[in-house]
Amino acid sequence: LWQLLPRPKSQPPLVWHWIPFLGSAATYGRDPIGFFRQCREKYGNCFTFILLGKRVTVTLGTRGNDYVLGGKHTQLAAEDVYSPLTTPVFGKDVVYDCPNEKLMEQKRFVKVSLTIDKFRAYVGMIEDEIKGYLETDPKFRVYQMDDINEWGAFPVLEVFSEMTILTASRTLQGREIRERLTKDYAQVYHDLDHGFTPLHWMIPNLPLPSYRKRDAAQAKMSAFYQSILRHRREHPEEHQDDDVMASLMKQRYRDGTPLRDHEIAHILIALLMAGQHTSSSSLAWTMLHIADRQDIQEALYEEQVKHFGTPDGGLRDITYDELRDLKVLDAVVRETLRLHPPIHSIMRMAHEDIPVPATLAAPSEDVTYVVPKGDIVMASPIVSQLDPTVWENAETWEPLRWYDDKGVAAQAHKQYNEGEKIDFGFGLVSKGTVSPYLPFGAGRHRCIGEQFAYLQISTAICALIRRLELKLEGNFPKSDYESMMVQPLPCKILYRRRKFD
């Protein structure tokens, strides 16, 4: 009944719901994109819905992305929304458990260790890990047999999740940590990962085993990193490592203080978690589309032969600099991130009443909406990434759109980034917050792992496509919105070994 009472015109429309506290939680949780589209049709680009007792105001479209991602952090704070999920998993004093200025410094420290020189070395390590995995993991039994004509099937989610953790830990975390993390600490990682779910976010503390295991795992993981840090300090002669930990040990905050051991440990945990689900679901979606589209699979393989083929019919090692020239590969990753960006909702907390620009949404010419202090504000770049008024055949996975002569996607992009140089070479598309394509976010909280993720995913695709032919088993899987990131529902890919190997 309360919903029927007249409300101030300046308040964005409230999405109708039957159950007071739950609000639209079930509809949003099951299919957020469908929910946003329905609401957009009914209420326009700005509306409010109830999510487990909280008011959430959504702003859609390119202007909506800009409103949230380009907002001042004094008005729109990320930490208030994300901290209940991330602090129990990452640990104290990092990321969203510290003032925003400190997070900005921490992001800068990590960026220092994500340089092109490092990337050059990472390519070989990633290929090595994938090769080793195919040769030893029981899920690739058929690959390991002599008969190259036989087809096998592997479970998509498990395989790409394992490949991602192996390649990320080997490169970002260094060989020493990679070895121990995947052997002695596999269960600890598993328990920590199981505390990184929507339920743990909505209700950060419950007397349930998964919560106890999460907290114990965080303490163990933190102690594990800190023991390595101590050892490195006490025995510098034994450690010539050039990994992220070594780089963080040398950094200083602006006031001159070094990072404390637990901060370094917690930043490393944060990097592990931030990159794991995002990269593994992106890799899984990409490989599923490649398995589904034989023409693109062939084009990818031919691109490998063209760039890396040797006179004896083999393929030489991939290099970072050459990877950047592979147009089909780049388009395949870019198009997958358009259709399946792993993060569907980006959130902030309004610290004051904030007017909504009339160009985004307004009830009438003389009244503008105001988002009230205390609302969660939400953008969903995937809605503009699938907008049929921006993209031709928006729902179809069509990598060609990124590099065909017409440059359809380039046109769409240019429209929103007038004057900005577009680098279609590798990764990066836009730095601005007004864009219809923002899989890595934008503005202050923009992803720092973009270039690394691109490198990791692209190298993994090369390593796989060189060795395997792929086909889909059954229909193309639907999206699972109930996990932390948008990932495919459980499914399998059929594979057969290529002759090259």
Least Å from the CB of residue 71 to ligand HEM: 10
CA 272, 274, 276, 279 torsion: positive or negative?
A: negative
Phi, psi of 184 (to 5 degrees): -70, -25
Of the pair 340, 497, the CB lying nearest ligand HEM is at: 340
Tell me the C-alpha to C-alpha distance, in Å, between residue 446 and each of 77, 130, 156.
14, 29, 28
* Distance from C-alpha of 242 to C-alpha of 113, rounded to nearest angstrom: 9
Of the pair 272, 370, the CB lying nearest ligand HEM is at: 272
Per CB under 6 A, the segment of 121-129, 138-146, 227-235, 270-278 that binds ligand HEM is 270-278
Task: Based on the shown chain and the rule CB under 6 A, indicate whether residue 440 belongs to the binding site for ligand HEM.
Answer: yes
Least Å from the CB of residue 448 to ligand HEM: 5
Of the pair 58, 271, the CB lying nearest ligand HEM is at: 271
* Distance from C-alpha of 368 to C-alpha of 356, rounded to nearest angstrom: 7
Look up residue 228 and give its two tokens. 């390595």
Of the pair 43, 452, the CB lying nearest ligand HEM is at: 452
Q: Which of 170, 83, 166 is nearest to 121 (CA)?
A: 170
Site for ligand HEM in 104-123 (CB under 6 A): 107
Least Å from the CB of residue 469 to ligand HEM: 25
Task: Based on the shown chain and the rule CB under 6 A, indicate whether residue 78 belongs to the binding site for ligand HEM.
Answer: yes
Least Å from the CB of residue 376 to ligand HEM: 12
Least Å from the CB of residue 445 to ligand HEM: 4
The one among 57, 86, 278, 286 contacting ligand HEM by CB under 6 A: 278
Site for ligand HEM in 348-377 (CB under 6 A): none
Least Å from the CB of residue 95 to ligand HEM: 7
Contact 131, 464 (CB under 8 A): no
Task: Based on the shown chain and the rule CB under 6 A, indicate whether residue 449 belongs to the binding site for ligand HEM.
Answer: yes
The one among 275, 427, 432, 436 contacting ligand HEM by CB under 6 A: 275
Site for ligand HEM in 183-242 (CB under 6 A): none
Phi, psi of 417 (to 5 degrees): -130, 50
* Distance from C-alpha of 130 to C-alpha of 495, rounded to nearest angstrom: 15
Q: Which of 444, 396, 459 is nearest to 167 (CA)?
A: 459
Of the pair 274, 362, the CB lying nearest ligand HEM is at: 274
Task: Based on the shown chain and the rule CB under 6 A, indicate whether residue 488 belongs to the binding site for ligand HEM.
Answer: no
* Distance from C-alpha of 441 to C-alpha of 462, rounded to nearest angstrom: 26
The one among 166, 259, 274, 377 contacting ligand HEM by CB under 6 A: 274
* Distance from C-alpha of 324 to C-alpha of 330, rounded to nearest angstrom: 8
* Distance from C-alpha of 162 to C-alpha of 166, rounded to nearest angstrom: 6
Least Å from the CB of residue 70 to ligand HEM: 11
Number of residues that bind ligand HEM (CB under 6 A): 22
The one among 46, 265, 271, 470 contacting ligand HEM by CB under 6 A: 271
Least Å from the CB of residue 430 to ligand HEM: 13
Task: Based on the shown chain and the rule CB under 6 A, indicate whether residue 439 belongs to the binding site for ligand HEM.
Answer: yes
Least Å from the CB of residue 498 to ligand HEM: 26
Contact 104, 446 (CB under 8 A): no
Per CB under 6 A, the segment of 195-203, 338-346, 349-357, 397-405 that binds ligand HEM is 338-346
Of the pair 284, 362, the CB lying nearest ligand HEM is at: 284
Instruction: Please tell me the chain's helix, strand, coil percentages from 3-state DSSP, rounded to the nearest 5.
Output: 50, 10, 40
The one among 159, 291, 343, 382 contacting ligand HEM by CB under 6 A: 343
End-to-end, the C-alpha distance of the chain in Å comes to: 68
Task: Based on the shown chain and the rule CB under 6 A, indicate whether residue 384 belongs to the binding site for ligand HEM.
Answer: no
Phi, psi of 438 (to 5 degrees): -135, 60
Q: Which of 116, 156, 122, 118 is nearest to 139 (CA)?
A: 156
The one among 36, 452, 481, 495 contacting ligand HEM by CB under 6 A: 452
Task: Based on the shown chain and the rule CB under 6 A, indicate whether residue 341 belongs to the binding site for ligand HEM.
Answer: yes
Q: Which of 171, 72, 188 is nearest to 130 (CA)?
A: 171
Burial readout 261-277 (b: 16 or more C-beta within 10 A, e: otherwise): bbbbbbbbbbbbbbbbb
Question: Shortest Cβ contact with ligand HEM: which residue?
Answer: 449
> Residue 141 class from Cβ within 10 Å (0-12 exposed, 13-18 middle, 19+ buried)?
exposed
DSSP 15: P
Binding site for ligand HEM (CB under 6 A): 78, 103, 107, 271, 274-275, 278-279, 282, 341-343, 346, 439-441, 445, 447-449, 452-453
